[in-house]
Structure formats: C-alpha cells, structure tokens
Structure 1
C-alpha cells in the first residue's frame, strides 16, 4: 500500500480537543503470526488500523515463529518501535535482549542461584497445578503469571526453566494432576516421559513472552486471545494499563479444531487444550474491553467467562474507495456468472459449491462459476480433490478455477452475484467487499455472515448443496431482484461496515480506555504518596 492510499484510510479528526487527546494516546499492539511480519487478513486489518490512526502513537510487539522473520509491511511514522519476539529458533531468551553488554549477560546468567530458583517454585507449582484442574481460576492465574514475570525481570529465564527443581516440580504436579483430570473426563491414559518432555518444551517457548520488556503505554491492544494477550494481563496488573482484546474469529475454537487434526498423543492434545483454555479465560477476565468482529463471537466469549458489559462488537471493513460497482455494461452474450473469491481450503467447503454448481448446470447449462484464489501450502491435496470432483461431475466448462484475480474489486464485478460456501468464518472481508461492489451475496449461516447479509442477501445452511443451488437458481431467474438486493447490500455496507467507521470506533475506544488508564496510574501514585507520608516519622 503506497503513501497516498494510506492517507486515504485516516480517520478525520475535526475537533481540536479530540485531536489533542488522540495525539497523546499511546497503544502497544500485540500480534502473533501476523502483522507486520506476515501477510493475511488480520495483518491487513492491523496495517489499516495503524495507518488509519496517524495521531495515535503505536508500539508493536510481534510474536513470530523464528528469529529470521522480517517485516513485510512498511511501518508508518506513528509506529514508535517494534519488538520482535521469536518463540522458536533461539538458543536462549537472552538472545532477544540485544541491548545488553557482555558483562550484563554473564551477570544475568549467574543471577538464578539455587535460592532464587527456590523462591520461584511456589509460583511455578501453582501454575502447573492450575493447568491440570478442570476449572479455570482466571484471577489467580493472572496473579501467578504476574509473579513469574516479576521474577524473570530479575533472574535468568533460561537457567531457571532448565533447572532440575523446575522440572521436578512440573513432573510431580503432572503425575498427580493429569490422571485426576482424565478421571473427571471419564478417560484413562498414561503420560510417557516423551510426552512430558514435549510439554515442558512448549511451556519453555510459550512463556518467553513473560520476559518481554513492554513499553509504557496507555493501552495494550491484543489482536487475539492466547499468547499475545499475556502482555495485556501483565501490564494491567503491574501498571494499571488498560487491556483491549480484539477477536476476529474465536481463538480458542480455532485452536481446539486444530488440535483435533493433530496426530499426537492424548496427553499432548489435552495439555495444549488446557493451556489455551486457561489463557483464554484469563484474557477475558482481565480485558477492560473485548471487541469481537461480529456478534456471533459473543456466545463463545460469554461461555468462557467474559462479562457481557465488557463486550462491544466493532465490525471490520474495507475502504469503500477500493470497492465500487462496475458501471460499464457487460458485453452482449456474456453468460450468467457466479463468483467465489478466497483461499482454497477445507473450511471454505468448495466441494459443496461444486456439487451445487452441478445442480445449477442441469437446470441452466449456460451458467459459469468462476472461482478466484489458490491453495496455500499444505492444501494442495484438497485442491486436487476439488478438481477431481469437477471432472467426475463433468463441470470442466462450468466451474473455472481462475487463480488469483487482478483485483478483488474486478473479480466481484465480473459476477452477476457472489457466493460463499464456508463452514466456518469470523466476519469475512470477502462478503463486505462484494456488498460494497453492489453485489448480492449467497452465503452460509456461519460466523458473522448472517449479520452482514441480513436484509440484503440470501442465507443457506452450510454443507447443503441443494440449498445453495436453489438460492442461485432463484436469483438467476429473477435478475431484477439481483440488482435490487445488490443496491441494498452496498447501502448497508457503506453505512455499517466501512474501514473509516471501524477506525473511528477504535479511536473512540482508545480514548475511553486511555482515560481509565491515566486514572489508574494517578490512583497508584496517590497510594504510593500516602505510603511514603505514613512512613515518615513525625
């Protein structure tokens, strides 16, 4: 995105007071596997947020897979700093602290004496004990994480986590806690030494986040629950910093679905699931505000302990300037065209769409389905399955895999209308982008799709090719309805789902939370002042 395009994303701040307030706002945006080191939907949202609020001073903390990761986004001038935290690929956590001199490194490595490690064990024992409990105690977990982070601010992380007392404590709590947890689930299993070693290795990597020296800001903004919410949990307790948690999808749900596909031991799956559950519920407990990308997310958040009054949906949206309806008439003789755009992935359920295309083809042979997108690495087999189904149903001339589109806007405008066949979504950009292009959308009732299409689109049951085909045929036989619903879709998208509205909502949220943070800090200073006065002899 060039500078001119980015300037168009900015939220206009007309009121002088509001501008002054926003210019003093400081936000630490924490991401994991996304912005600014990787591309993707969440990365694009982060980039548009940061570039769209130039008066807000951002610091970035980016959790990445390995230390070789480099930023792929050009950072705007309002980004004051970037802290990159590789969770894998480092020998020691001290490698992350490039500002230390050699004597400081040696001093830190020798800081974790036997007595120091023994002082760490009560917090560590409590952490592992809670990991194996069937019920999460989020307040207590947050306090325990804070105790461990305070310890690591003074004593060496690597020496401590690799010490025999820490390992022995982990094994003792696991031997007693894991069987009890399984018994509560009605299961039976015995953990191997390899299982325990792998689990400890994961904890060693995950908990490196506790060692990050966070900048002093008004707000910690986590782009997801899970590990990137740990800085918010810590800063809220240590400094009164407010904690904003955005959930585009549901992190916990996605993690649990991913674990079911892993070919690992029962111990490993339960261990990872318990860790994710524990951190997620703790995130919800400490967040001053949770900002899901759709109302659909509320029920998961509420079920896992979030307080209803802290949940406020902020819809994501694209820039309307980049998605406008085509005005030129189509060439005469152009066949009816239905467009799909996305990544080729099992969650997008293209097999259902292909079966629906076969039903449509039997009724109206001239209709084309044009599918834009490619299979990411790892999904090649699924793509081949899709091609095989097209061949089996004799749809080679009907279903066209067109690869990447020149632009999303051009792809949507090519179609009479747009389809989405997914079995899982958050609040998909593709739906709103198509709506802004004045295109009617036939979508499945998953995630926030229903919220987007209510009153201006057609919703069908997921995994139901007959329902998808019937909706397509209904629109194809009613071209005036396609035009009317497309106009209604554009009006709704422009009014409710634009990028500018999204950024304006976040700016208002930042201002509100910054006020709370400053009040918290003043209260802490007053408490310290009173304590000093009480300690002065008369």
Structure 2
C-alpha cells in the first residue's frame, strides 16, 4: 500500500542512526511504499538527494519564513476567503463558537485548492482587518489581555504560517497527491496533521497520528517563554488546542508513545477506543550492557541543564549522600538550556560544600559512556514527559533512581527506586541504599535492562504498525473518490475489481500512469483487466 508520512522538522534530511524513527519505520516495512511530506524551514529545503532508499520520494513545504509568492484573489474570491477566515477566527476567540473551527478550516482548504491564492489572502490587509474586528468583538476571550495593533500584525503573520499546509500542492489523486494514498501517517501532530485532515475531508483517506511527546503540551510549555505579548500567545494556543481536538476527533487511530501521553490525549477529547500505546522503539536494545562499575561510588545524572530538570534537588540530595558516604561523587552530563543556569548550580554546589566532588562534564560523547561512568543513574526532574532517556539508562544495566513524575513509574516499574519529587531526603536515601548494596544494584540493573528490552525493541513497533495499517485499509473503501466500480450514485465497493486489474505491468495500452490506484484515471475500470486475461497466469 502507499503510505503518506507527514511530519514537521527543521533538519535538512530525516535523521539517521539511532535517532531516525521514521527511517526505522520505513525500512522495517519494505512491503509498503512510503512517501515523505515534510513541513520545514526555508533553509532546510532540498532533501531529495539525502533520502534513505526506503523512501519512495519527498515533498516539502516551508512552514516558516517568508510566505510563498502568488497572485492575490479577486474581489469576489476575497469575500469568500474572508467569510471562511472569519469563521475560523471566531472559533478561536469566541468560546461559544469553537465548534466552527473545522468548518472554517476545510472551507479555506477548498478555496485554496480552487485558485491557490490563500497565502496571498492570509498575508493581506483584509485578513488583518478581519482578525482585528473579530478579536475585539464583545464576548471575545481576552484573558490574555486586550489585543493592540501590534498584536494583530504578529498574530495574523503567525496564523498565516500555521495555515500554509492548506495551500500545499499535495491534494488530488494524481502522482504525489494525498488523494491517491491508501492512508496517511502523521508523526508529531500539530501543523503536520493539517494535510491529513484535508485529505480525509476531500478524499476520505484515513490517517494515523503518532506522538512521542504531545505537540499541544510542548506548545503550552514553549509559549511561556515566547517573545510575544499575552494576547498573541493566547490566540496561537487556542489555534493549536482547536487543531489538536479536531485531529483527535478525525484520526482513525492514535498511537501515543506512553500511557502517560494517552491520558493527556483523552483529556483533549481522544476516543479511548481508537487509542493504542506504541512505545518508541530504539536500536539501543541491542547495545551491550555497561562494563564494570567505577572504583569510586558515583552517581551519574544526564539531561538538559534547565530548572525543570531540578538539578538543585540533585545537589541538595548529594550533599546528604556525602554526609553518609564521603567517598561518593556526582557527575552531571548535559548542555546548558537556560542561560546562567550552570553557573547557578555550580554556585549552589560551592555553598553546599560539595563542589570538589561534583563534576559538570558537559555534553557527553554518547549515552553509553554516560551510564558506564556511574554506579547509579539518577533522574531528579519535576516532569518526565518522554521515556527515552530513562529507557536508555535501564538498557545500560545500571540501577536507576528517579522522581515519581510523568512516565517514570510506567517505564521503571518495579525495576528501580522511585521517590517523591522535590524531596532531597528521599532521593538521598534511595541513592545511599543502592550505593551500599552491590547485590541489589546488580539485581535491579538486570531487571531494568530486561524490562526496557521488552518494551522498547524496534520489532514490536514495526509489527504494531503493520497490523494498524492493514486494519485501517480493510475498514475503508479502496476507492474513496468514488471510482470503486459501483453504479452512479452508489457508494464505492472495496472488491469491485478482479485480481488481474492490480498487476501494474505497464501493458494496459499505456493507460496506467502510476498516479494512484489503477482505474481512477478514467481508463475504463474492468476493461483494462479484460485486455490481458492471462496476466495473472503469466505473473505466477
């Protein structure tokens, strides 16, 4: 089957090695044809010569930066665009009209497909005036504050960038069109789901959504520090919230990366019956366990140096560990993610009198080296949103101590020690208990490695999506655009063609263009199969 994989990224090409989840999926399912639809920045275009051989092709759209050129709509068309745009904006700022988001979104997409002038309209003064008028209507949600003229300009520009996928040249049943795909697979959510929503609305193509870390949650966290005024932040978060709800409502299947994310998706309206947890597989499961422990009892910590990781808790706990075990050391691996935070932590270690035993080692060469340098792996974060770092530590065979937040309980389970967050005494007690008991460390380390190998192996992930793909195409018509061989006015019939029809041997009188399912190009349906009644026998 043909699978259209939609994702968003800033890289010039899909990641390779142990980080390329999309590559591992396509290489693990060679029986399917994958085509990449990438939303990226203007400086990251041009990936065709860098694709893995598993990809059939790539299509890109610059999601950020200067808008694409094009002519402006005429007066009549501009009015139709304005009505659709107003319906969408009203759904964002008027609490009583949130149900109109989907209708406004699909109307804009249909208009864009007709004349291709949507980018020019969204960047026009007419769109800005529409946004300003609706944003200042009585009853509009102004919890973020009253919008100023500068807010209207910034908000209109950001909405234009978010809505660019609606005008992408990807819709249709011809070559490269999403209408010719058997299904769409959205990786990451957010704006990457817009083409899938449009393809489902226009062509009936089902889609799957995979999120390793929820896009909406990351937007809420990221916009706290965004360089925009509060009204703009509220407007953009309202857009992402409405887009997420519409995506969850229309998706055939949701595959969150953990049960923790699954609970968040349900709070956003996801149907539990269409949600299946599929853990993010990693090739690290085949990596050998870490070698012998260091001679000096060492606690190792890894992650971004930022307040959310709560290194202060780790330093306070380590001061108590040193009081009970003076030979202990602490090694902190990671890059500074918040300006001045490393200096703050170094000053705190100095005040606690542990600076000589604390090593800020910076960015590690590899995670395997990080865990091998320690006796016990410690995680002190206030929130564990993704399981991958925890799973990598467990795969090393080192015993793990973690704060009981986010996905920690789900990932670690009974194979490690969990302590309450922001409790240095409990964290220090757990670390001391393991540092003083070699047999317990070895037992928990082995159990953690086996648990991580079972949950995060690549093969179960590939098998899960193989089943999901087959299940979806068996439930949806083979000809969503109405070319299934039924009589006029009748719904398409999935098995209306004989088996010989699907042999793409190029000998149907030149009528097979390869642009989607055979028979959708007006080639006469069954007539093409009847031209060569012995095709199946020859192929066998």
Instruction: Indicate the TM-score class for this superposition, using the shorter chain for normalisation.
Output: 0.7 to 0.9
The one-character-per-residue Cα deviations of 1:279-309 (angstroms, maximum 9, x if unpaired) are: 1111111111111111011222111111111
Cα distance in 2, alignment partners of residues 262 and 165 from structure 1: 27
Relative contact order, higher structure (CA 8 A, sep 6+): 1
410 and 260 in structure 1: CA distance in 2 versus 1, 3 angstrom threshold:
closer
Cα distance in 1, alignment partners of residues 377 and 74 from structure 2: 64
The answer on 1:181 being equivalent to 2:130 is: no
231 and 180 in structure 1: CA distance in 2 versus 1, 3 angstrom threshold:
same
Instruction: Report what 1:280 is aligned to.
Output: 244
CA RMSD of aligned residues (A): 2.8
Matches within 5 A, 1:430-445: 430-445=389-404
53 and 396 in structure 1: CA distance in 2 versus 1, 3 angstrom threshold:
farther
Cα distance in 1, alignment partners of residues 109 and 485 from structure 2: 23
Q: Which runs of 5+ in 2 are unaligned?
A: 171-176, 492-540
Instruction: Report what 1:482 is aligned to.
Output: 441
439 and 136 in structure 1: CA distance in 2 versus 1, 3 angstrom threshold:
farther
475 and 462 in structure 1: CA distance in 2 versus 1, 3 angstrom threshold:
same
In 1, are the aligned partners of 2:285 and 2:452 still within 8 Å (CA)?
A: no
Matches within 5 A, 1:3-402: 25-33=1-9, 37=13, 44-68=20-44, 74-90=50-66, 92-94=67-69, 109=71, 112-134=73-95, 137=98, 140-155=100-115, 156-176=117-137, 179-182=139-142, 187=143, 189-214=145-170, 215-216=177-178, 217-262=181-226, 264-320=228-284, 322-327=286-291, 329-330=292-293, 334-376=295-337, 379-402=338-361
More helix by share: 1
- Which stretch has the larger CA shift, 225-234 or 47-56? 47-56
1:512 pairs with one of 464, 471, 475:
471
SS of residue matched to 1:130? helix
Instruction: Kindly state the Cα deviation for residue 243 of structure 1 after the two structures are TM-superposed.
Output: 1.3
SS of residue matched to 1:521? coil
Instruction: Kindly state the Cα deviation for residue 404 of structure 1 after the two structures are TM-superposed.
Output: 3.1
SS of residue matched to 2:255? strand
SS of residue matched to 2:120? helix
Instruction: Kindly state the Cα deviation for residue 173 of structure 1 after the two structures are TM-superposed.
Output: 1.5
User: Normalising by the residue count of structure 2, what TM-score does the alignment of the two structures yield?
Assistant: 0.82
Cα distance in 2, alignment partners of residues 223 and 478 from structure 1: 43
- Which stretch has the larger CA shift, 496-505 or 68-77? 68-77
Cα distance in 2, alignment partners of residues 416 and 427 from structure 1: 23
34 and 426 in structure 1: CA distance in 2 versus 1, 3 angstrom threshold:
farther
Matches within 5 A, 1:460-471: 460-471=419-430
Instruction: Report what 1:100 is aligned to.
Output: none
Cα distance in 2, alignment partners of residues 223 and 293 from structure 1: 11
Instruction: Kindly state the Cα deviation for residue 69 of structure 1 after the two structures are TM-superposed.
Output: 5.2
- Which stretch has the larger CA shift, 271-280 or 496-505? 496-505
